[in-house]
Amino acid sequence: MINKVLMIIMDGLGDRPIKEFGNKTPLEKANTPNFNKIAEKSQCGLMSTLGKGVRPGSDTAHLEILGYDINKYYTGRGPIEVAGIGMELQEGDIAFRGNFGTVDEDWNITDRRAGRITDVTEFAEAIDGIIIDGVEFIVKPAVAHRAGVIMRGKGLSSNITDNDPHVIGEKVKVVMPKDDTEEAIFTANVINKFMKKSYDILKKLEINKKRKEGGELEANFLLMRGAGIYPKNMQKFNERYNFKKSACIAGGGLYKGIGAFLGMDIINVAGATALPNTNVDNKIDAAIELLNDKNYDFVFLHIKPTDSLAEDGNYLGKKEFIEKVDKSIQKLETLDDDVLIIITSDHSTACELKAHSADPVPIMFCGEGILNDNVKEFGERNFGSGGLGFIEGNDVMRLILNIMGRLPLIGA
């Protein structure tokens, strides 16, 4: 009987036929004896995470796979990003991704990253806690020029535009409401006041004067984008699905953010870089230890480079990286028998397009009680004839709960 779950998501794994590979995909071309062994024991299928013909972002695709309806839980990337840097969100908070940048006196952008500044702690502290019209701005430093920003107060809306024009030389944008509700108008108005106030504080900072004297760009403006509201009645992952302890193992900040947003424990693993040099062995070891020895009953393990290599059009690199992961997952044989293994992806990233595509991704369920099918090799084409058929992202958690015997009965 299944009591625990390991979900491995290889980002952007699915792909299209590559001429140089004799029209095989990077996954089909890769030598994957260990994945194939798991496929043979699995129920296999294909998945369109957000539905057929919908091109998923990584954030939205992950939320759907983990059972969170993006129409209810996703208004922008801000809340995921700020959760990822350890900021606690409350119902009704508006969260943003922030950059400390440089503007001239007319607020034209000189540099969006303040000369690739490496630490913005002092700048974030200087404008953290500002209150405007009863709304508090909480600003915390993240990696390099980045920051997390939360607006906390009554009657706020995330339906507003960014102030970041994304283009050097252009003027910082006035934040506008995207609808005519009182909340959106109020929120935009408060942010515009905050921009003025925080600029006045930042430009006078001693550290900025020193930077200027030393020929460095000042970090005198907080660019904000990706506004999202922390949803009402947000149920954390463990509570929603009745897991005791869940964990997220990821190298990339966005994926740690998704884990943190859903209340999972974030496990930092040595050498997990989200780059092709990432230490997949260490990540697999960490997952096995959590599941076998540390009483975790759900582990989400994210592997990024399959996506980034395909975004570079590097099909050979993608194939080789898949082979690297294949070697590491051999160790999954040491998992206890009560662990369900799911291996899949959030979306396809086609080397041909160097971008995410709406092509479905392979997905397999392996463990006790699983009715395996005739599919014996891990690949996009093969999985089309698997026993799982064609599913969507939001089917995954229900299928897991079914295997675990946790689904409520509909009817008598």
CB-based closest residue to Zn ion? 58
Strand pairing of 348-350 and 135-141? unpaired
Closest CB to Zn ion among 137 and 255? 255
Interatomic CA distance for residues 254 and 258, integer angstroms? 6
Closest CB to Zn ion among 11 and 218? 11
Give the nearest distance from C-beta 44 to Zn ion in angstroms: 21
Give the nearest distance from C-beta 115 to Zn ion in angstroms: 30
Closest CB to Zn ion among 187 and 394? 394
Residues 318/311, Cβ–Cβ less than 8 Å: no
Residues 124/141, Cβ–Cβ less than 8 Å: yes
Closest CB to Zn ion among 11 and 183? 11
Residues 6+ apart with CB under 8 A from 178: 159, 160, 161, 184
- In the structure encoding, which two tokens stand for residue 273, read together? 């870089």
Give the nearest distance from C-beta 59 to Zn ion in angstroms: 8
Give the nearest distance from C-beta 255 to Zn ion in angstroms: 9
Interatomic CA distance for residues 101 and 78, integer angstroms? 18
Closest CB to Zn ion among 58 and 208? 58
Give the nearest distance from C-beta 61 to Zn ion in angstroms: 6
Give the nearest distance from C-beta 51 to Zn ion in angstroms: 16
Give the nearest distance from C-beta 167 to Zn ion in angstroms: 26
Among 160, 176, 163, CA closest to 75:
160
User: Contact residues for Zn ion (CB under 5 A)?
Assistant: 11, 58, 307, 346
Residues 376/36, Cβ–Cβ less than 8 Å: yes
- In the structure encoding, which two tokens stand for residue 45, read together? 């299928």
Q: Please tell me what DSSP assigns to residue 89.
A: P
Closest CB to Zn ion among 274 and 286? 274
Closest CB to Zn ion among 123 and 321? 321
Give the nearest distance from C-beta 8 to Zn ion in angstroms: 13
Strand partners, 47: 361, 391
Among 273, 293, 295, CA closest to 282:
273
Closest CB to Zn ion among 153 and 305? 305
What SS3 state is found at 107? coil
Residue 291's CB is within 10 A of a number of other CB atoms, namely 24
Q: What 3 state SS string does 274-294 have?
A: CCCCCCHHHHHHHHHHHHHHC
Interatomic CA distance for residues 117 and 330, integer angstroms? 42
Closest CB to Zn ion among 101 and 251? 251
Give the nearest distance from C-beta 46 to Zn ion in angstroms: 17
Closest CB to Zn ion among 61 and 160? 61
Strand pairing of 265-267 and 298-303? unpaired
- In the structure encoding, which two tokens stand for residue 237, read together? 């992952």
Length of the chain, please?
412
Among 126, 163, 130, 152, CA closest to 141:
126
Give the nearest distance from C-beta 383 to Zn ion in angstroms: 18
Question: What sign for the dihedral angle of Cα 313, 317, 320, 325?
Answer: negative
